């Protein structure tokens, strides 16, 4: 946990859940298919070094990150294996020196990047593994799929670059989107193979399609959301459930009773319909609980669900304690997680403000101290 003496809001990260989720994934891919875990965004807010260490203890040896700094953090945790940089190549000597020192493998998305890396490695007489990414429809990183063959030739013909994998990234999970991208993906792969370019590994699949499309597992699967237990699994695809790893907790810092007709928070939208016991929780949008959550979420307090009322403020939010008879200042309130038989999931929070769970996990992880729990 951070050095904050007594936080009023914190995350609890269940590392046993991370290990469990890895086991579920491993049981649902072929023995010859390698598991690549996506640890970008500080492991989706869960703590990159801690998650990487647990994954390594579970036998995982392939990771994906965005930045050099993320890769370095994994290495500092004494984790070996392959670390793929999903981000762009910085055309600088310092960037490349760090690549070599930390044994990180870059993604190449342009002829310019390939030429720069080739010259850098040639000057040092070394061979660098690189990964070719081509864009099949997300229109983000990666060379356009129509130009991927030429870049594949550039890499394969380079004396100091070694093609380690070819991959793309799906823009969604809807059948029409996936099918369109898969046609493009296969069309590129077919030509690459027909022209004699050796490709050691191919990867495309992401968490949401892990069970739905086993035909797309290829040589590796890139898994992010499922690792953290935030994947909704169709009932007919797996009998095993992923376990959420992150819980968000806070404390009740103040309790008061307000009369009927009194408003709560700024520009009061919630007006007390009767005399109401209000709890003030020590958490707000500075802790990643966006104002858009206002009056759309609940907290688990003393075994009961207490609805949040009024606008969320920077450091506090208010809840209606009418249904929570026995409660006191200092009691714990859970905004994400499970207490007894009551559960608030990350997907529920995401749906409440029409976003995806990744955004909320990252916001919470960047804004709160973490307590790591494990029996391993």
Whole-angstrom distance, CA of residue 263 vs CA of residue 40:
42
CA distances to 38, 118, 234 from 333, rounded to whole Å, are 30, 55, 30
Whole-angstrom distance, CA of residue 95 vs CA of residue 113:
12
Site of tokens 């969604």: 172
Measured in degrees and rounded to the nearest 5, phi and psi for residue 341 equal: -100, 15
For 183, the token pair is 């046609």
Which residue, 210, 208, 230, 205, is CA-closest to 17? Answer: 230
Are the beta carbons of 61 and 80 closer than 8 angstroms? yes
Q: Which one is catalytic: 256, 266, 296, 298?
A: 266
Query: Could you give the angle at which helices 93-102 and 111-124 cross, rounded to 10 degrees?
Result: 70
Residue 335's SS3 state is: strand
Q: Which one is catalytic: 40, 206, 251, 298?
A: 40
Which residue, 318, 292, 314, 315, is CA-closest to 306? Answer: 318
Residue 143's SS3 state is: strand
Is residue 40 annotated as part of the catalytic site, yes or no? yes
Label the pairing between strands 62-65 and 246-258.
unpaired
Is residue 133 annotated as part of the catalytic site, yes or no? no
Whole-angstrom distance, CA of residue 27 vs CA of residue 211:
11
Residue 366's SS3 state is: helix
Are the beta carbons of 170 and 206 closer than 8 angstroms? yes
Are the beta carbons of 105 and 81 closer than 8 angstroms? no
Provide the annotated active-site residues: 40, 266
């Amino acid at each position: 946990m951070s050095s904050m003496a007594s936080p009023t809001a914190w995350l609890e990260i269940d590392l046993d859940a991370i290990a469990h989720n890895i086991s579920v994934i491993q049981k649902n891919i072929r023995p010859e298919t390698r598991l690549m875990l996506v640890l970008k965004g500080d492991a989706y807010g869960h703590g990159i070094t801690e998650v990487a260490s647990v994954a390594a203890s579970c036998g995982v040896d392939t990771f994906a990150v965005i930045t050099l700094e993320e890769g370095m953090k994994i290495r500092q945790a004494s984790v070996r294996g392959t670390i793929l940089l999903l981000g762009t190549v910085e055309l600088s000597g310092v960037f490349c020196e760090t690549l070599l020192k930390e044994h990180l493998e870059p993604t190449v998305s342009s002829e310019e990047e390939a030429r720069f890396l080739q010259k850098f490695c040639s000057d040092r007489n070394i061979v660098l593994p690189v990964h070719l990414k081509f864009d099949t429809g997300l229109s983000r990183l990666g060379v356009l799929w129509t130009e991927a063959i030429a870049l594949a030739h550039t890499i394969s013909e380079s004396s100091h670059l070694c093609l380690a994998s070819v991959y793309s990234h799906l823009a969604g999970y809807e059948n029409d989107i996936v099918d369109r991208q898969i046609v493009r993906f296969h069309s590129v792969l077919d030509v690459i193979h027909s022209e004699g370019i050796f490709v050691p590994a191919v990867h495309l699949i992401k968490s949401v399609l892990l069970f739905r499309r086993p035909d797309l597992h290829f040589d590796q699967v890139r898994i992010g959301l499922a690792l953290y237990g935030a994947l909704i699994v169709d009932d007919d695809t797996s009998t095993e459930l992923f376990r959420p790893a992150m819980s968000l907790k806070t404390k009740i810092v103040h309790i008061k009773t307000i009369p009927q007709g009194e408003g709560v928070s700024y520009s009061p939208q919630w007006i007390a319909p009767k005399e109401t016991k209000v709890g003030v929780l020590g958490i707000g949008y500075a802790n990643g609980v966006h104002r858009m959550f206002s009056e759309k979420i609940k907290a688990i307090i003393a075994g009961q669900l207490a609805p949040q009322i009024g606008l969320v403020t920077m450091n506090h939010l208010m809840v209606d304690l009418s249904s929570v008879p026995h409660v006191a200042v200092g009691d714990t309130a859970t905004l994400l997680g499970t207490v007894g038989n009551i559960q608030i999931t990350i997907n529920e929070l995401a749906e409440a403000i029409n976003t995806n769970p990744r955004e909320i996990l990252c916001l919470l992880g960047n804004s709160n101290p973490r307590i790591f729990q494990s029996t391993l």
